[in-house]
Structure 1
Amino acid sequence: MKSAWIAAFVLSLALPAFAADRARMAASIPAETHEKVVGYFPQWGVYDNYFVGNLVHSGAADRLTQINYAQGFIKDNQCVVADLQADMNLAYTMANSVDGIADDPTAILKGNFHQLQKLRQRYPRLRILLSLEGRASDFAAIAQSEVREGFVRSCIQRFVLGHLAPGVEAPGLFDGFDVDWEYPNAAQNEDFIALLAEFRRQMSAARPGLTLSIAAGATRDHIEAVDWQRVAAEVDEIGVMTYDYNGPWSHTTGLVAPLRSSNPNADTASKAIADFTSHGAPVEKLLLGIPFYAYQWTEVSGENNGLGTAGRPVRGNLNQSTAKILAATPDAKLYRDPISQAPWLYDGKNFLTFEDATSLHAKAAYVREQHLGGVMIWELSGDADDAPLLRVFAGK
């Protein structure tokens, strides 16, 4: 879904000067009706102290309708477990487990998958999908007519029927698949749709009611390359990646995920949604993509309070320490775009773009106004310990 080097972090913790105001705003937001609230859980989070148990301790599991577990991989035209250590072998402690019970180190199934089993028992209404990720070339290969039936069969066998490995069974672990072939081109449109149709056919045969979703790039050329009406006939959800409109690949600062813009030529989330619907995607299947991470530039001049000016992008893992240091700078100020309601932080040198309760409240209202299917969050470890950003959409 995103490059692994991007570390989601929590602005509500990172910006203590604004935390109280953000908490007040989040608490004042009423329930946001019944749209889907879908969040990606990062498999690799266990290497940075983010565990399945965090979903319980933060209250996130109560607020989500669906978890997309990132990730499964494509290897040799088969669906495979991406990280055996994180998924099946890591022995959870009492502190980071779902139920306060440590894993038996001799158990045949441990790790995130075992904790997801416990999470399902505790929250039976919560749907859990396996997010299938890989390179564009991998998806193009397994979508070929001579390969795709066997590939999909391997996904069903491993992640729905639960034949994880020889002697390791976890039937019903996942409720479907999230296919992250994000940017198929026009020449791949037919193969893309055929792959989704094969998933739908085999999923319906294996267990009626399984969910099929996709993550879709929000660029105009990608939207125009795909027959979205036919895609929508096969899938339950289209998670639109309405973020990364600006980031550290550019030497110009900008907002990571503006909802709207006064510039008619600017790319925005609302423009992407309009493009999808005009190309045949039904609004009720569209999920608005929400970033729970931030981007930073340094050596930024003071013009326009740092927005849209030259700067040196900060690459690598942004963390709480980085943001706290920036927030503690005497000249740090919070600014907000009046059109998109998107915030940024600027201290005269460093520029930080992120989401907060105000910008997310505007997006929640947009989802309701447009009758979208809900929101899709990348990714859950970016929220604070008590999930204040998630509360904006869940209303509790």
Structure 2
Amino acid sequence: MSLRLNRSSQWRLGAALGLLLMFLGIYPPVLSVASLRSHGILVGYFPQWGVYNQYFVKNLLSSGAASLLDQMDYSQGVIADGRCAIGDPNADLNFVYTAANSVNGKADDPSATLRGNFHQLQELRRIYPKLKVLISLEGKPDGFAAAARPENRAAFVSSCINMFVRGHIAPGVEAGRLFDGFDVDWEYPGPADKDNFLALLSEFRRQMDALHAGLKLSIAVAAGVDHYQGFDMKAISAEVDQVNAMNYDYNGPWSHTTGFIAPLYEAAGDPLHQNTVDATIRSYEAAGVPPAKLLLGMPFYAYGWSGVNNVNHGLFQPGQPIRGDHFYSYIQSIEPASKLYRESASQAPWLFDGQNFWTFDDPPSIRAKLGYARQHQLGGVMVWELSNDSADALLLKTIGTNLHARE
């Protein structure tokens, strides 16, 4: 007699065993959700600057997030003088980790040539060898535009591969095979860049494939396809493995009217009209992006307004934007003092205490989006960004447990 488990039961069994082993101080590389994938991949951006806010690579282990991820995009690499460069040498190479905050429980040797986040990524990869890690290239639009010109692009791409894939990080600093490819986050190429944008991606693909098979290439694209008017999105999609739609910032502190940060569907009375995740996904599909390459983006942060009229529970009302960074953990802290409301069409939540309005994603709204991703047969989801989650990775766990659920 053999015991046969469905995928949901397999995940629960694997997760339970994984938690037990983590409690015992053992981080298993084998029993991960990645081996049970059924409805696309889960990609999370890791913030380089987390070290300054007590968010370390080890947090991915202590929260249980690491075993849920198929791919982590490390933010960020930059462009300097037409070449790839380290975004923050202190965070990436020089930060001295203590035994308490390091992945392997060992303090960094201050005299080692490679410390910081990059060494911690090496240790993480030893525990989860199947986890893909990409470097997210970010920078000013004119830096990308210059690097993508015909006379510059081959040398630029070569510098990126030499540094981040071959591991020649700096003179005398070798990291080996640290990254499995690139996420190109050009925000945003203009109409004059459309041919060079495609050519840059083609050059990345050519040089990566020449090095060895299996290297990944993704792009981050705007919440509105109007940023790419005249671009051949079908040809662009053919060069990349993933198209990460940044399905957030549909409303925020640039507006003096409250609204949703990332609504799945349009809510009645929304003055922005069709400024939604659904409209974005459909527009990219219509532009030629294959659904299997399209990843639905989710925010792990919140926006708020103060001085909001106590009308319609604060929704679509005038207000004063609240500045600063506010993560989902902050929403959890203020939720008891506010009332939670939910828009029926998109399941988008908001908090309102009679004066202050907050918009964010939570487990119910995430589950609605995951159902949408399965319906559209999307390639998976990506999140911005991992440190914004609660300490126990509630939002990421919501994605992990539901991404694989049978319909």
Instruction: Give distance in 2, aligned partners of 1:111 and 1:163.
Output: 16
Q: CA RMSD in A?
A: 1.6
Query: Is residue 313 from structure 1 mapped to residue 318 from structure 2 by the alignment?
Result: no
Query: Is residue 124 from structure 1 mapped to residue 129 from structure 2 by the alignment?
Result: yes
Residue 141 of structure 2 is matched in structure 1 by 136
Runs of 5+ in structure 1 lacking a partner? Answer: 1-30
| 1:386 counterpart SS class | coil
Displacement of 1:320 in angstroms is 7.7
Greater CA deviation, 115-124 or 185-194? 185-194
1:223–1:279 Cα contact (<8 Å) kept: no
Displacement of 1:357 in angstroms is 0.4
Q: 2:274 aligns with which of 266, 271, 276?
A: 266
Displacement of 1:328 in angstroms is 4.5
Query: Is residue 288 from structure 1 mapped to residue 296 from structure 2 by the alignment?
Result: yes
Displacement of 1:309 in angstroms is 0.3
Displacement of 1:389 in angstroms is 0.6
Q: 2:385 aligns with which of 375, 379, 388?
A: 379
Query: Is residue 277 from structure 1 mapped to residue 285 from structure 2 by the alignment?
Result: yes
Residue deviations 1:33-90 (CA, integer Å, cap 9, x gap): 3411000000001100100110111111100000000000000001000100000000
Instruction: Give distance in 2, aligned partners of 1:366 and 1:319.
Output: 24
1:32–1:394 Cα contact (<8 Å) kept: no
Query: Is residue 163 from structure 1 mapped to residue 171 from structure 2 by the alignment?
Result: no
Query: Is residue 238 from structure 1 mapped to residue 246 from structure 2 by the alignment?
Result: no
| 2:186 counterpart SS class | coil
Aligned residue-pair number: 364
Instruction: Give distance in 2, aligned partners of 1:283 and 1:252.
Output: 33
Displacement of 1:386 in angstroms is 1.7
Greater CA deviation, 315-324 or 272-281? 315-324
Q: Return closer, same or farther for 1:173/1:324 CA change in 2, 3 Å cut-off.
A: closer
Instruction: Give distance in 2, aligned partners of 1:70 and 1:371.
Output: 27
Instruction: Give distance in 1, aligned partners of 2:382 and 2:243.
Output: 9
Correspondence list, 1:106-117, <5 A? 106-117=111-122
Residue deviations 1:309-331 (CA, integer Å, cap 9, x gap): 000001113368964664343xx
Q: Which amino acid aligns with 1:304?
A: N
| 2:58 counterpart SS class | helix
1:335–1:343 Cα contact (<8 Å) kept: yes
TM-score using structure 2 length:
0.87
Query: Is residue 228 from structure 1 mapped to residue 236 from structure 2 by the alignment?
Result: no
Instruction: Give distance in 1, aligned partners of 2:100 and 2:40.
Output: 32
Residue 395 of structure 1 is matched in structure 2 by 401
Q: 1:362 aligns with which of 368, 374, 387?
A: 368
Instruction: Give distance in 1, aligned partners of 2:191 and 2:228.
Output: 10
Residue deviations 1:144-177 (CA, integer Å, cap 9, x gap): 0000000000000000000001111112100000
Instruction: Give distance in 2, aligned partners of 1:175 and 1:270.
Output: 31
Residue 44 of structure 2 is matched in structure 1 by 39
2:329–2:389 Cα contact (<8 Å) kept: no
Residue 90 of structure 1 is matched in structure 2 by 95
2:328–2:388 Cα contact (<8 Å) kept: no
Displacement of 1:353 in angstroms is 0.5
Instruction: Give distance in 1, aligned partners of 2:211 and 2:330.
Output: 47
Q: 2:199 aligns with which of 179, 194, 199?
A: 194
Runs of 5+ in structure 2 lacking a partner? Answer: 1-35, 403-407
Q: Which amino acid aligns with 1:247?
A: G
Residue 17 of structure 2 is matched in structure 1 by none
Residue 252 of structure 1 is matched in structure 2 by 257
1:66–1:128 Cα contact (<8 Å) kept: yes
Q: Which amino acid aligns with 2:278?
A: S
Instruction: Give distance in 1, aligned partners of 2:112 and 2:134.
Output: 24
Residue deviations 1:213-245 (CA, integer Å, cap 9, x gap): 000012142143421100011000000011100
Deviating beyond 6 angstroms after TM superposition, the runs of 4 or more aligned structure 1 residues are none
Instruction: Give distance in 2, aligned partners of 1:85 and 1:217.
Output: 30
1:184–1:226 Cα contact (<8 Å) kept: no
Residue deviations 1:267-304 (CA, integer Å, cap 9, x gap): 10011010001011100000001000000110001111
Instruction: Give distance in 1, aligned partners of 2:45 and 2:230.
Output: 26
1:218–1:242 Cα contact (<8 Å) kept: yes
Q: Which amino acid aligns with 1:108?
A: T
2:191–2:228 Cα contact (<8 Å) kept: no
Displacement of 1:184 in angstroms is 1.6
1:326–1:350 Cα contact (<8 Å) kept: no
More relative contact order, 1 or 2 (CA 8 Å, 6+ apart): 1
TM-score using structure 1 length:
0.89
Residue 350 of structure 1 is matched in structure 2 by 356
Residue 16 of structure 1 is matched in structure 2 by none
Instruction: Give distance in 1, aligned partners of 2:330 and 2:248.
Output: 22
Instruction: Give distance in 2, aligned partners of 1:220 and 1:231.
Output: 13
Query: Is residue 297 from structure 1 mapped to residue 305 from structure 2 by the alignment?
Result: yes
Instruction: Give distance in 2, aligned partners of 1:215 and 1:182.
Output: 8
Instruction: Give distance in 2, aligned partners of 1:124 and 1:321.
Output: 30
Q: Which amino acid aligns with 2:282?
A: A
Identity %: 54
Greater CA deviation, 201-210 or 311-320? 311-320
Q: Return closer, same or farther for 1:392/1:326 CA change in 2, 3 Å cut-off.
A: closer
